[in-house]
Every structure is written in C-alpha cells, then in structure tokens.
Amino acid sequence: YIIFKYFIIKMGNAASSLEGDAKSPIIKESHKSARNVLERYAKNIRQASKDENENVDSLKGDLTKAEFRGGPSTPVNKHNYYYPYPCNLDHKEHTNLRYDDVNLRHPCHGREQNRFDEDEESECGNKIRNYKRKNDAIACAPPRRRHMCDKNLEALNYINTQNIHDLLGNVLVTAKYEGESIVNNHPHKGTSDVCTALARSFADIGDIVRGIDMFKPNVHDKVEKGLREVFKKIHDGMEGEVKNYYNPDGSGNYYKLREAWWDVNRNKVWEAITCGALPKSAYFLQSEDNKQLFLYPKCGHNNKNDLPTNLDYVPQYLRWFDEWGEEFCRKRNIKLKKVKDSCCNDKERLYCCHDGYDCTTTIWKKGSLHLDNKCTDCLTKCKVFELWLGNQQEAFKKQKEKYEKEIESYVSNDAKFVNNINSEYYKQFHEKLKEKKYKNNDTFLNLLNEGKYCKEKLKGEKDITFTNSADDKGIFYRSEYCQVCPDCGVKCDGIKYTHKSDNDRERVNNEDYKPPWGVKPTNITVLYSGNEQGDITQKLENFCNSSTNYKDKNNQKWECYYKDENINRCKLEQNTEINNDNPKIISFHNFFELWVTYLLRDTIKWNDKLKTCINNTTTHCIDECNRNCLCFDRWVKQKEEEWNSIKKLFT
C-alpha cells in the first residue's frame, strides 16, 4: 500500500483545496504563521541534535515484547500484545490500571472529551509547574493538554513497568486513545485541523516522557513520579559504557536517557496517535517558497522514517502560545457571530443593547427605557463574551511575559533547564528566534496574526492583530454590538437600522422633577461601575482602595419619590463624569430596572473574578485574593445599603 504521498501545489491567488481537505475552511495560513515557522526551526534543530551515541538503538522498544500488568483488581494478570502494529491495543487488557470496571481502565476516563468546545479555556494557574515562582513567568496549558487521555500512565512504576518495551507499550496506549479522542471530538473532522491537533498532543506526550512537561494535572503528579521510577530502573539495568553515557545528572530525572528514549521511539508514538485519523486527512505545512504541502494518508500515519511534524522539538510554551492564538481567533469568530445575531440583526428587525434594552423603542437621553424579552439573549451573549475576553486577555498577558523572559534567559545562559540535555537545543531554538528578529514580542505576535483562523474574519470586521491588544477597539474589545443604546435611539429605513441624529431626536427629557405634596423624597447613593469594558476591580479601583465612607467618582446620587404606580420619578445629580451615559430624570420603574440590571451584571463579574480563589489550596495568590475578597465584601454591604434606601420609598 502507499506509505505516504506528498502533494505540492503551487499557490495562485486563492489557496489550494484538495480532496482530503475539502471539508476544511480555505487554508489562508501563510508560511509566516507561528506553526510553520516553528516547524521549520524544529526540523533543523532536531537533525543537528540527534544523539550520535552508537548504542542509542539499544533504547528502541519492541511492542511485541511489552507486558501489561493491569486488569481486574485481583488477581494480577500479565498480558502481552505480540504485534508490532499499535492500532489494535485495547485498554481492557493493555494497561497497568487495576479496576474491575473496564471503563475505569480507559485512558480518557475522567477527562473532558469536548475539549475543543468554544467555552473551554487554558490553564494559567497553579497547575502549571513553578507557578508563581520568583522571576519565572507563566505558560498557559490549552484545553487539549489539560484533558489529555493519559490516565493509564498514572499506573507506571518500577514494579509493573520493567523495561523499555513495557514503557513503549504504555506510551502507545496513551497515544492511540488520545488520537481517537481528538479525531472523534474535533469540530472539523476529516480536515488538516485534526492532524495539527494530533501533532500538538504528540509533542506534549514527548515532553511528558522527557520530563519537561509544564502541566501538572494534580498534586499527586503520578505520571511524572512514575516515569522517574521507570527510567531509574531502565538505567539500573544498563551496563558498561552505555550506563556511563546515561549517568544521572543529579536531579533524579535522567533527562539524557529520557531524551534518547524518546528520539528512537517517537516514530511509533506518531503511528499510534494517528491510528484513528481518517484516510483523507492531511497534515498541512506551508513552505517559504509559496508552496503548500499536504501529507497523506491519515496525517502521514505510515511515514515511519520521516515524520511530518517536528513540533516535539519546539519549546512547549511556544507551541501553547501558538495554539492559544489560533484557538482565540477560531472561538472569537464563533462568539462574535452569536453576539451579532443576538444584538444587531437587521433581518430579524433586532437592535438591542448589552443590558437587555430594546434600542428601537429606548431613547436614552429622554429617560424612556424599555427592557424586552427579545433582548435577553443579547444581554446573556454579551456578558459571556466580555467575561471570556477578559480571561483571554489575562492569558495573553501571561504568555507575552513568558516569551520575553524565556528569550532573555536562554540567550543569556540563565535558562531553567541548565543541567539537562534539552537546554542545548532549547537555547538553539531561542537563538534562531533572535537571529530572525523575533527577539521582541511584537515581531513574534505578528506570526500569530498569520494563523489559519486569524486570517479569517466576519464580514465587516477588522483583521485580528495581536499587536493591537488595547481595550479600546483592540482584539479584546467587546465589539460594537455590545454597547448601550444610542442616545437618541435608532431608526429603520426598511433594510437596516441606523442611529438617530440630533435632528431626529424626540423631545429631550425636560420633565420637571416635582415631588407631590405630602410625598417625601428618598436619597439613594448608588455605587456604579460604568458601562465601559474591563475588570470589575479595575473599574472600582478607587472604591476598593479607599477607606470607609467612600465619596469618589463611582458614586451616583439619586433622589426618588414614589406616590403610586403612575406618579414616581428619580433624578440624578450631575456630580461626576460617570453620569454622562445615564438619563437624568426617569421613572422609578426604570431606575429600579437599571439598578437590578447593574447589580446582576456586576455579580457575574465578581463571580468570575473570585472563582479562582474559591477552594484554592495554594498560597501564591493569597494577597490578591484577600484584596479582592475584601473589596467584594464592601461592595455587598454597599448594595445592601442601596437596597434598604430603595425600600424606604414604600414605607
């Protein structure tokens, strides 16, 4: 049968489309995309850093000799596989996990299978190794890595994994089921996107084996501890020059041995991870000479001598940053379309603001406000979108800082892995980035702009540009659709909605505020976070940092009276800059709707801000959590005071 095919197609004005990639979006990814640039560098570095030790082949595992000691809890059964081809490995027998329930022996058990869902996010917190270590920036593990199907590796130890063959068997089981999970759950089945995801997981498996994976799934860290035991046992079984060559480095990690084992066994891991790939799926690369390269069949499954990817020789944080950028663009397009359809849809005669008001009947400056059920979806979608953007902005900042610090440390010989074999080619990789003028963030961020989904955009939207990350109109801007209603409302010409101009303005609200005889007005001071996009603690920074009796710019001073359902008004004093986007005289009903809307909106933002502090066992973020929790406590008490003032209107 055909081992593999190379299809090189000269690009014209439009990107080429082949049968195997027919279901994929048009590939607009250029040779300057981060993934293509990283692949080229990695290929050269791997070839230059291959272990030339003549005994390296002694580390090559043989799947036919692998033994597995798992199965039911009792008795311990030993299973062999007997075949060199890994695609028929079965978790029911080929594992060291010991459970009576076969489902508990599945490598994907307990892992989220919908990890490519638009709401799945990266982990930039305490599950990253050396989280909050002094002078060490933070990488962000993508959802694909967070939920990797590696449960079977948790059962590795020196008793049930006794040699290079047993180790290979267990790693191949992980790879096979990880690949199947990606193929079955990827949103773009049968496309080159699936092959890219497989390559990324392949590289992460390589980092796990070599002891340089930055993701720590739990406090027990069973996989890494087990691998240390296994490689110690492998080294203990060596003799003579071979043993001396791979002598431990003092860290207990056996980096040199682990690196060599991976290098001679990686082809089998690629074969296993691509077992479930569809025949027409192709791994895609874009060359510098304007050619597209597609590797068939099954993502290059049968290419045993020259694997289609070398991402396993790209520093993990760079791969994750590239993946984050591509996924950000893909998910942003999905979420932005949902926001547009829910908030500003000419076809459905829909024009809503992000607080749930119908802009076709709301005249903000007149004080005529109209909540509408048909705008509830806009409110929901905008809040979700804004919270998501805030989280992505935090992940972006952390990864930018990580890039800066890693470039500086490797080039200055102050790298984290100074004593292991990986440090040399990691340093070479960063030197190449520096040589190619990627020493600063902006030049590397330009590579992210060239990603497949970052080159695509919704009609009428601007290009995604990662160098433009400011809140106002940058890539983390909540969009034109998630805004307050125009001051004077909107009008429809039968085709689309447009903002009313001053000439279109209905009577500006010049109503007198005259409490009727016998009705005593009530003063209500409202803490207002504003309609601007941003973090709740940043928008309330002055309030959070002040002592008691806060009297600064976030306070709105209202005076309200309520006689009956028809005779009621609220007046806003024009005392601060934040009142410019609010009507000055409105009915009590509209005032109360606004108060409740902002209360719920800010509650959601507080929940998102504080969720990382809840049940957090680490002490690294205790200072920030304490500050935020103290501010939240004050905010709750402030809202209680406001509610008590509102209730006085009815007593």
Residue 60's domain spans which residues?
Answer: 55-111+148-278
CA distances from 263 to 239, 268, 451 (A): 21, 10, 29
Strand residue runs (E) in 332-437:
344-345, 350-351
381, part of any domain: yes
pLDDT at 8 (0 to 100): 31
For the chain, the first-to-last Cα distance in angstroms comes to 87
19, part of any domain: no
Confirm if 625 and 616 have CB atoms less than 8 A apart: yes
Looking at the structure, tell me whether residues 494 and 346 fall in a common domain. Answer: yes
How many CB atoms within 10 Å of residue 370? Answer: 16
User: Where residue 625 sits, what CATH number does that domain have?
Assistant: 1.20.58.1930
C-alpha–C-alpha distance, residues 103 and 113, integer Å: 14
Decide the pairing of beta strands 67-68 and 79-80: antiparallel
pLDDT at 12 (0 to 100): 31
Looking at the structure, tell me whether residues 233 and 375 fall in a common domain. Answer: no
Strand residue runs (E) in 46-164:
67-68, 79-80
Per-residue DSSP letter, 564 = S
Q: Which residue has the higher pLDDT, 462 or 119?
A: 119
Looking at the structure, tell me whether residues 549 and 632 fall in a common domain. Answer: yes
User: Where residue 164 sits, what CATH number does that domain have?
Assistant: 1.20.1310.20
Q: And the tokens for 640?
A: 């209680």
Looking at the structure, tell me whether residues 208 and 87 fall in a common domain. Answer: yes
pLDDT at 17 (0 to 100): 33
Out of 252, 278, 304, a domain closes at 278
- The b-or-e profile of 553-578 (16+ CB within 10 A means b, else e) is ebbbbbebbbeeeeebbbbbeeeeeb
Looking at the structure, tell me whether residues 243 and 373 fall in a common domain. Answer: no
433, part of any domain: no
pLDDT at 219 (0 to 100): 86
Q: Which residue has the higher pLDDT, 358 or 411?
A: 358
27, part of any domain: no
Query: Strand, coil or helix: what is 9?
Result: strand
Phi/psi at 17 (5° precision): -135, 125
Q: And the tokens for 337?
A: 């379309």
C-alpha–C-alpha distance, residues 315 and 57, integer Å: 25
Confirm if 53 and 245 have CB atoms less than 8 A apart: yes
Q: What is the mean pLDDT of residues 300-313?
A: 91
**Residue holding tokens 């993990």?**
316
Confirm if 559 and 570 have CB atoms less than 8 A apart: yes
- For a pLDDT cut of 70, what percent of the chain falls above it? 84
Looking at the structure, tell me whether residues 474 and 347 fall in a common domain. Answer: yes
528, part of any domain: yes
Confirm if 191 and 403 have CB atoms less than 8 A apart: no
Looking at the structure, tell me whether residues 63 and 184 fall in a common domain. Answer: yes
pLDDT at 363 (0 to 100): 84
pLDDT at 55 (0 to 100): 67
Which residues partner with 292 through β-bridges?
A: 9, 286
Of 180, 211, 342, 192, give the one whose Cα is nearest residue 281: 192
For 98-221, where are the alpha helices, taking DSSP H only?
143-146, 164-185, 192-210
Confirm if 143 and 242 have CB atoms less than 8 A apart: no
Looking at the structure, tell me whether residues 83 and 197 fall in a common domain. Answer: yes
C-alpha–C-alpha distance, residues 156 and 178, integer Å: 17
How many CB atoms within 10 Å of residue 20? Answer: 25
pLDDT score of 328 more than 70: yes
Per-residue DSSP letter, 71 = B
pLDDT at 639 (0 to 100): 94
Of 214, 206, 187, 188, give the one whose Cα is nearest residue 273: 206
Query: How many structural domains does the chain have?
Result: 3
- Say which residues have a Cβ less than 8 Å from residue 614's Cβ, sequence separation at least 6: none
Looking at the structure, tell me whether residues 154 and 223 fall in a common domain. Answer: yes
pLDDT tens column, 506-562: 544 456 788 999 899 999 999 988 877 778 888 888 888 886 666 667 888 999 999
pLDDT tens column, 58-100: 899 999 999 999 877 666 778 999 999 999 999 999 999 988 8
pLDDT at 421 (0 to 100): 58
pLDDT at 495 (0 to 100): 60
Tell me how long the chain is.
Answer: 651
C-alpha–C-alpha distance, residues 318 and 142, integer Å: 12
C-alpha–C-alpha distance, residues 76 and 71, integer Å: 7
- Say which residues have a Cβ less than 8 Å from residue 468's Cβ, sequence separation at least 6: 474, 475
Q: And the tokens for 255?
A: 């980096």
**Residue holding tokens 């710019």?**
553
Strand residue runs (E) in 297-363:
344-345, 350-351
pLDDT score of 212 more than 90: yes
Model confidence band, residue 234 (pLDDT cutoffs 50, 70, 90): very high
- The b-or-e profile of 168-202 (16+ CB within 10 A means b, else e) is bbbbbbbbbbbbbbbbebbebebbbbbbbbbbbbb
pLDDT score of 436 more than 80: no
Q: And the tokens for 214?
A: 């930055």
- Structure-derived torsion over alpha carbons of residues 610, 616, 621, 625, reported in degrees to the nearest 10: 30
pLDDT at 615 (0 to 100): 55
pLDDT at 599 (0 to 100): 92
Looking at the structure, tell me whether residues 536 and 489 fall in a common domain. Answer: no
Element (H, E) at 522: strand 522-527
Helices 316-343/376-411 angle, 10° precision = 160
How many CB atoms within 10 Å of residue 391? Answer: 15
CA distances from 22 to 5, 281, 301, 599, 636 (A): 17, 10, 19, 48, 54
pLDDT tens column, 456-508: 777 777 778 898 876 567 899 888 899 888 888 887 666 666 777 765 545 44
pLDDT tens column, 152-189: 999 999 999 999 999 999 999 999 999 999 999 999 99
How many CB atoms within 10 Å of residue 48? Answer: 10
Model confidence band, residue 345 (pLDDT cutoffs 50, 70, 90): confident
**Residue holding tokens 């180790």?**
167
pLDDT at 195 (0 to 100): 97
The model's pTM is 0.85
243, part of any domain: yes
**Residue holding tokens 């002592």?**
547
317, part of any domain: no
pLDDT at 84 (0 to 100): 95
Q: What is the mean pLDDT of the chain?
A: 85
Looking at the structure, tell me whether residues 264 and 372 fall in a common domain. Answer: no
Per-residue DSSP letter, 21 = G
Looking at the structure, tell me whether residues 161 and 267 fall in a common domain. Answer: yes
Model confidence band, residue 1 (pLDDT cutoffs 50, 70, 90): very low
Confirm if 539 and 533 have CB atoms less than 8 A apart: no
142, part of any domain: no
